[in-house]
Amino acid sequence: SYVLTQPPSVSVAPGQTARITCGGNNIGSKNVHWYQQKSGQAPVLVVYADTNRPSGIPERFSGFNSGNTATLSISRVDAGDEAAYYCQVWGVSSDHSVVFGGGTKLTVL
Amino acid sequence: QVQLQQWGAGLLKPSETLSLTCDVNGGSFSGFYWNWIRQTPGKGLEWIGEINHSGSTNYNPSLKSRVTISIDTSKNQFSLKLNSVTAADTAMYYCARGFWDGYYYFDYWGQGNLVTVSS
């Protein structure tokens, strides 16, 4: 089965840029989506199809996908961005299979 | 604005059947897939399965033998049944809307239901 690998944790100082990676075999050929999950809340979509932001998501959130790694970048990080972030792909081994990464906890120092 | 509100029993004994329902308010009910996703501390987010307004389903192969997802289009609701539960099924369960356009993601989520399986 297809595996998405994320680092368990990333730490960044306020005002800096956080980069969260999602590794997978030839992931650059797939569409990657990213979710933010704050403590005690349901996940929220922040980037879809590699680079697109849903309505209401700040421009500080951006995505890139190439080769074996997709990356979610969050610029000008503040305390409100502290959360777990998950990547997701679809259709990798059967028509409607959905795979999530293990999640990365972003800590704002 | 689309809102998903879910409910169901939160405490089960081993071998019982988990049953959850998700009500969809706002937006179109057709044209989307309606999903169940669970989250455990150990395994993170796990997709359980989906159904569309026509009743066509797809399930995670690892759970397929125990899962049934059904839909009631007259009420804009869909439901999950997971039978023969064990402690490993203890998780937060979410319903979510799946949007397909050559790729597939979840744009609206329910608030979640914590289900605990314990004797």
pLDDT of residue A91: 79
Residue A64, sorted as left (phi over 0), alpha (psi -120 to 50) or beta, turns out to be beta
Query: B105, A86: Cβ pair inside 8 Å?
Result: no
pLDDT of residue B72: 95
pLDDT of residue B34: 97
Lowest mean pLDDT among A21-30, A62-71, A89-98, B16-25: A89-98
Q: Which two tokens stand for residue B80?
A: 């999950």
Helix (H, G, I), strand (E, B) or coil at A45: strand
Report the gap between the CA of B87 and the closest CA in chain A (Å). 21
φ/ψ (deg, to 5) at B111: -80, -15
pLDDT of residue A42: 97
Segment A38-49 mean pLDDT: 96
Report the 10 Å Cβ neighbour count for A16: 14
Report the gap between the CA of A49 and the closest CA in chain B (Å). 7
Q: Among A42, A44, A90, whose Cβ lies nearest the Cβ of B104?
A: A90
Query: How far apart are alpha carbons A30 and A25 in whole angstroms?
Result: 10
pLDDT of residue A93: 67
Burial class, A52, CB count within 10 angstroms (exposed 0-12 / middle 13-18 / buried 19+): middle
- pLDDT bin (cut points 50, 70, 90) of residue A94 is low
Segment A76-91 mean pLDDT: 95
Low-confidence ranges of chain B (pLDDT < 50): none
Residue located via tokens 């996703």: B37
Contact status of A54 with chain B (Cβ, < 8 Å): yes
Q: Provide the mean pLDDT of chain A.
A: 95
Contact status of A98 with chain B (Cβ, < 8 Å): yes
Query: A91, B104: Cβ pair inside 8 Å?
Result: yes
pLDDT of residue A62: 98
pLDDT of residue B55: 94
Asked if the model's pLDDT at residue A3 lies above 70, the reply is yes
pLDDT of residue B111: 97
- pLDDT bin (cut points 50, 70, 90) of residue A57 is very high
Contact of A12 with A104, CB cutoff 8 Å:
no
Q: Which two tokens stand for residue A42?
A: 């349901």
Contact status of B113 with chain A (Cβ, < 8 Å): no
CB crowding B88-107: b at 16 or more within 10 Å, else e: ebbbbbbbbbbbeeebbbbb
φ/ψ (deg, to 5) at B89: -90, 0
Q: Which chain A residue has the Cα nearest residue B42? A: A102
- pLDDT bin (cut points 50, 70, 90) of residue A95 is low
Report the half-sphere exposure of B30 (CA within 13 A, side-chain side): 3
pLDDT of residue A83: 96
- pLDDT bin (cut points 50, 70, 90) of residue A65 is very high
